[in-house]
Structure 1
Amino acid sequence: MRHFVNLQTDLIRTFVTVVDLGNYTETGHVLGRTQPAISLQIKRLEDLVGAKLLHHKGKVLDLTPQGHALIGYAREMLRLNDRAVANLHEAQFMGTLRVGLPTDYAIGYFQRIIADFARTNPDVTFDIRCDWSRNILSQLHVDDLDLAIAITDTMPAPYVSLYWSERPFWVCGRDYQFSLDKPVQIIAHPKGCFYRKRMIDALNTEGREWRICFESPGITAVQNAVLDGMGVTALTKKTLLPGMRVLSPKEGFPPLANLHVGLFYKHIKASDAALKLIEQITEGVSAFRKPTHARS
């Protein structure tokens, strides 16, 4: 007969909160328990799953490989638990949601989800901030945002609930002419951009010379520079425009490494309204991508 192990929600909540807040003391304050009680709950969860979930690297609390494997399931279990309770209690959605959206990714789709949510939940107001992914995640880390969509170099990453991969493509204007004997003219966002890094890494690996000919923090300016024939850049399918063409390896442009896009939030900080919006974003992403729920 199959042996069932039931993971208690209070233990899961403690585990996720410790991971998000980074220490036992603050977790105890937030959950109304002493630090020894928090430690005991983590030990009980580890005993249930039969694995060590957390360890210290100096003063930093980090997930073990088994902890990484559990954290995605744990976030999803908490979200479903709290959404079920909110539905049964007919929770009223209100307050302000601070949402971060990346300027270095196609955000129109998520803006439409947020707009639909706003129309059906008029008591919720929004504070939407568009910025570089690294800045958005920094704001989430210090609790200046409630949730965020952002790009990272690797996954899973801190606070991520689900994520998916996007393959960037080399693109140029339809009539753009280039020579393999001359440096590649790159149109890019400023240093720190993941697209920029992938272009430069790919060309350096091939031993190709390159130079940045146009730099702008805005996606529209980059797109217009491509259409004006100023050079080449890397875009995803959602940011390709009519008048552009994709460049292939046969033309001297090597494949670019995937980008990783994720939905990030701290569950302990999330209101009922935030969890409802997260639910709608999760459903929306599943319609066009096969996301990973932060599981190994």
Structure 2
Amino acid sequence: MSNKDNLDIAHLRSFLAVADTLHFTSAAYICSTSQSTISQHIHRLEAQLDCVLLKRSTKQVELTDDGQALIGMAQNILRQQERVLAHFHKEQLHATLRLGITEDLVLSRFPEDLRMFRQDYPQLQIDLTVGLSHHLHQLLADDRLDIVCGMRQSSDTHGQLLWEDELVWFSHASTCSLAPDESFPLVTFPDRSITRKLAIETLNRIGRPWHIAFSSTNLSAILAAVRAGYGITPQPAFLSAEGIVPVDASTLSPMPRVEFIASVQSSNSDGPANAFIKKMKTRLNKKQKMFSL
């Protein structure tokens, strides 16, 4: 039997990613590969099936009739493969995924990602560790975690990029207004925290006096301190909590953007750690498409 008689699962995954997003760059993002690899997979699949699956132009990608027909069949093939693997690797159904995640994600985006992931791995046990990014990455390096989701500075390169966001100053309404020469009351994480480092660098750059008013490794405690009027905290823009409000950007210097990433210990592209990352990327890509409409 020749290779032409065997469909490549990777080619089908790439095709389904393009079919879902109608965008090669977005498909590459979801599959954690390059756009050229996605294009190569599609070309090889079309050559193997002797048909055109996609209509491409400089502005858009459209599915042909053959492409539409392949979607259901490709999905069935992938589902059957998963059933075969599950049947002969029953021990994996009761395995544990050691997941490390920062608290800001737990309080915002994480539940939706976990719900989507559980649909594919309903019996997989999750061992969750919540902490600061630098501590979680140390646990990953020590092989005590399988995957870490957290923050990095835009100048860093480790991990797979999920999305980027702004850092925003948050405070209680009663502490929003500070005199220009008044020492800035910083409510933040301890040393080695990315947000603490960027906040202090920003304040030093504009020559603003500051002091640490409250420090904790726990985000919930930091938000409670802000509500209590201890000071102002730098946090990702997506974070929202009762009793805190963004400080007027015109009164303070803006901070650098940060990136949220996922890092894995295992290089197994079909493992649950990478499947979790793929679920996150799929959800984020769909949300970006909704906002662009």
Shorter-chain TM-score range: 0.5 to 0.7
Q: Secondary structure at the match of 1:279?
A: helix
Question: 5 Å matches for 1:41-52?
Answer: none
1:208: how far off? 0.8
Cα gap change, 1:129/1:213 in structure 2, threshold over 3 Å: closer, same or farther?
A: same
Cα gap change, 1:139/1:9 in structure 2, threshold over 3 Å: closer, same or farther?
A: farther
1:36-67 deviation per Cα after TM superposition (whole angstroms, max 9, x unaligned): xxxxxxxxxxxxxxxxxxxxxxxxxxxxxxxx
CA distance in 1, matches of 2:164, 2:212: 26
CA distance in 2, matches of 1:224, 1:137: 26
1:256: how far off? 0.6
> Is this contact kept in 2: 1:96–1:127, CA < 8 A?
yes
1:249: how far off? 4.2
Cα gap change, 1:75/1:140 in structure 2, threshold over 3 Å: closer, same or farther?
A: farther
Q: Which amino acid aligns with 2:245?
A: R
Cα gap change, 1:131/1:245 in structure 2, threshold over 3 Å: closer, same or farther?
A: closer
Q: Secondary structure at the match of 2:178?
A: coil
1:221: how far off? 1.0
Indicate the residue corresponding to 1:97 in structure 2: 97
Q: Which amino acid aligns with 1:173?
A: H
Gaps of 5+ in 1: 1-7, 11-71, 291-296
CA distance in 2, matches of 1:149, 1:224: 24
TM score, norm. by length of structure 2: 0.64
Indicate the residue corresponding to 1:207 in structure 2: 207
Q: Which amino acid aligns with 1:190?
A: P
Cα gap change, 1:76/1:231 in structure 2, threshold over 3 Å: closer, same or farther?
A: farther
> Is this contact kept in 1: 2:145–2:265, CA < 8 A?
no
1:151: how far off? 0.9
> Is this contact kept in 2: 1:106–1:238, CA < 8 A?
no
> Is this contact kept in 1: 2:103–2:131, CA < 8 A?
yes
Does residue 33 of structure 2 align to residue 73 of structure 1? yes
1:75: how far off? 11
CA distance in 1, matches of 2:9, 2:202: 46
Q: Secondary structure at the match of 2:267?
A: helix
Q: Which amino acid aligns with 2:221?
A: A
More off after superposition, 148-157 vs 254-263 = 148-157
CA distance in 2, matches of 1:109, 1:211: 31
Cα gap change, 1:123/1:250 in structure 2, threshold over 3 Å: closer, same or farther?
A: closer
Question: 5 Å matches for 1:71-150?
Answer: 73=33, 87-90=79-82, 91-92=85-86, 94=93, 95-103=95-103, 105=105, 107-118=107-118, 121-150=121-150
> Is this contact kept in 2: 1:146–1:270, CA < 8 A?
no
- The percentage of aligned residue pairs carrying the same residue is 19
With CA pairs under 8 Å and 6+ residues apart, which has the higher RCO, 1 or 2? 1
Indicate the residue corresponding to 2:26 in structure 1: none
Q: Which amino acid aligns with 1:89?
A: Q
Q: Secondary structure at the match of 1:234?
A: strand
Q: Which amino acid aligns with 1:166?
A: D
Q: Which amino acid aligns with 1:244?
A: I
CA distance in 1, matches of 2:210, 2:269: 45
1:116: how far off? 4.1
Indicate the residue corresponding to 1:154 in structure 2: 154
1:250: how far off? 3.0
Question: 5 Å matches for 1:180-195?
Answer: 180-195=180-195
Gaps of 5+ in 2: 1-7, 11-31, 42-73, 87-91
Cα gap change, 1:197/1:239 in structure 2, threshold over 3 Å: closer, same or farther?
A: same
> Is this contact kept in 1: 2:162–2:281, CA < 8 A?
no
Q: What is the root-mean-square deviation of aligned Cα atoms in Å? A: 3.3
Indicate the residue corresponding to 1:18 in structure 2: none
1:232: how far off? 0.9
More off after superposition, 281-290 vs 164-173 = 281-290
TM score, norm. by length of structure 1: 0.63
> Is this contact kept in 2: 1:213–1:231, CA < 8 A?
yes
Q: Which amino acid aligns with 1:175?
A: S
Q: Secondary structure at the match of 1:268?
A: coil
Indicate the residue corresponding to 1:19 in structure 2: none
Cα gap change, 1:194/1:288 in structure 2, threshold over 3 Å: closer, same or farther?
A: farther
> Is this contact kept in 2: 1:151–1:261, CA < 8 A?
yes
Indicate the residue corresponding to 2:276 in structure 1: 277
Indicate the residue corresponding to 2:44 in structure 1: none
